[in-house]
Amino acid sequence: MVAGTVRRVVMRLLATLPFVLLVTQVVLAKPQRVVSLNLCTDQLVLLLADPKNIAAVSYLSHDSANSYMAEAARAFATTHGRVEEILPLQPDLIFAGRFTSQGSVAFLGKMGFRIVTLDSPENFQGIRAQVRQVAALLEEEARGEVLLSEMDRRLERARQTAPDDRLTAAFYLPNGYTAGRNTPVDAVLKIAGFRNKVAELGVKGTVVLSMERLIASSPDVLILSSFGDGGASIAEEMLSHPVFARSMNGKTLVRVPTRLWVCPGPMLADAVELLMESRP
């Protein structure tokens, strides 16, 4: 009886072995049809993947105001994250953001597609870890290390040349969005030699801050950005407000293109250098 049971178990294992080997080969094979569904995953895929292995990126990647890699992205097909667009591409690896196309992601996951969902790093340590994660998934580790080496070289130069006076700075987006502690903006400001005035107010993460509270905090430098170059925004309109104009008299206003820090990645080194060049 025991011998018969053992024999049946062994036969089942042998019967499933070819399938197990096939799955292992599929999982371990270098991705050849990569699809990205999120603006920030677009940037990493475009920076790290071999172009011939990119099947599609999101339509947002072509927007030069918000996409750091817009020029490179225009060489690739785009999707709006819809299942009917993605299925014909037959991707072997899909990158998504935590809040991107959740219905499509769930459906594709149930169909057995390999999906990797990336969070948004809060600092450069998190950026390094995420770049290495994506590079490993793409089997492009060498490209990842080159990218990080260049980023770290620029950040180290910024640290060494940052002045000691540590002026205060506040980041202000349309609709009053700002960034406190535990944000990529906070990490950028620190390396560029600034104190984050919003963080000093006790703010954590990305929140809405009233113009009145911003003015009362009286930062030495106000950093403006917009959700698209050339468009009207509350952040721009407030510049003509009499109270704001008086409060910011003699202070420095810096405009940083959205594409430099809408996504936490190696491109934040550009934002660091721009801020350092704009210091009063």
Segments in the chain forming alpha helices (H): 2-28, 39-48, 70-73, 83-86, 102-110, 124-137, 141-161, 184-191, 197-200, 211-217, 234-237, 242-247, 268-277
Task: Specify which of 75-79, 98-102, 235-239 reaches the highest per-range mean pLDDT.
Answer: 75-79
Kindly state the average pLDDT of the residues 93-97: 96
Amino acid 88: pLDDT: 95
DSSP code for 254? E
The count of residues in the chain is 280
Q: Which residue has the higher pLDDT, 205 or 164?
A: 205
Kindly state the percentage of the chain with pLDDT values over 90. Answer: 63
pLDDT of 91: 97
**pLDDT at residue 249 in the model:** 73
Rounded to an integer, the average pLDDT of 90-115 is: 92
The pairing of strands 93-97 and 115-118 is: parallel
* pLDDT for residue 226: 58
For residue 133, pLDDT over 80 is answered with yes
pTM of the predicted protein model: 0.83
pLDDT higher for 120 or 211?
A: 120
* Strand pairing category for 206-208 and 177-179: antiparallel
The b/e string for 205-227 (b: 16+ C-beta within 10 A; e otherwise) is ebeebebeebbebebbbbbbbbe
The predicted structure's pLDDT at residue 237: 63
Helical (H) or strand (E) element with 118: strand 115-118
* Whole-Å CA distances, 89 to 21, 53, 73, 74, 117: 25, 12, 17, 17, 19
Q: Give the pLDDT confidence of 27-40 residue by residue, as tens digits.
A: 458 999 999 999 99
Q: What is the rounded CA–CA span in Å between residue 169 and residue 252?
A: 9
- Identify whether the C-beta of residue 268 lies closer than 8 Å to the C-beta of residue 124: yes
174-to-168, 226, 231, 238 alpha-carbon distances in Å: 20, 6, 11, 10
Whole-angstrom Cα distance, residue 87 to residue 248? Answer: 53
Would you say 44 and 117 are in contact if contact means Cβ atoms under 8 Å apart? no
Per-residue pLDDT tens over the stretch 234-253: 555 665 667 766 777 777 88
Residues 227/258, Cβ–Cβ less than 8 Å: yes
Q: What are phi and psi of 52, to 5 degrees?
A: -70, -15
pLDDT of residue 19: 40
User: Which residues have CB under 8 Å from 22's CB, separation 6+?
Assistant: none
| 54-58, 156-160, 176-180, range with the lowest pLDDT | 176-180
Amino acid 21: pLDDT: 39
Going by pLDDT thresholds of 50, 70 and 90, the confidence category of residue 125 is very high
2, pLDDT greater than 70? no
**By the 8 A CB rule, do 44 and 70 touch?**
no
* pLDDT of 130 strictly over 80: yes
Is residue 176 within 8 Å of residue 234, measured between CB atoms? Answer: yes
Instruction: Give mean pLDDT, residues 56-72.
Output: 96
Distance between CA atoms of residues 259 and 267, nearest Å:
8
Nearest to 68 by CA among 271, 272, 208, 273: 271
- Residue 207 CA to residue 171 CA, distance in Å, equals 11
Q: What is the pLDDT of residue 165?
A: 82
Instruction: Choose between 215 and 228: higher pLDDT.
Output: 215
Domains within the chain, CATH numbers bracketed: 34-119 (3.40.50.1980), 165-277 (3.40.50.1980)
SS3 98: coil
Residue 54, H or E segment:
strand 54-58
Map tokens 């580790």 to a residue: 141
Residues 175-183, mean pLDDT to the nearest whole number: 88
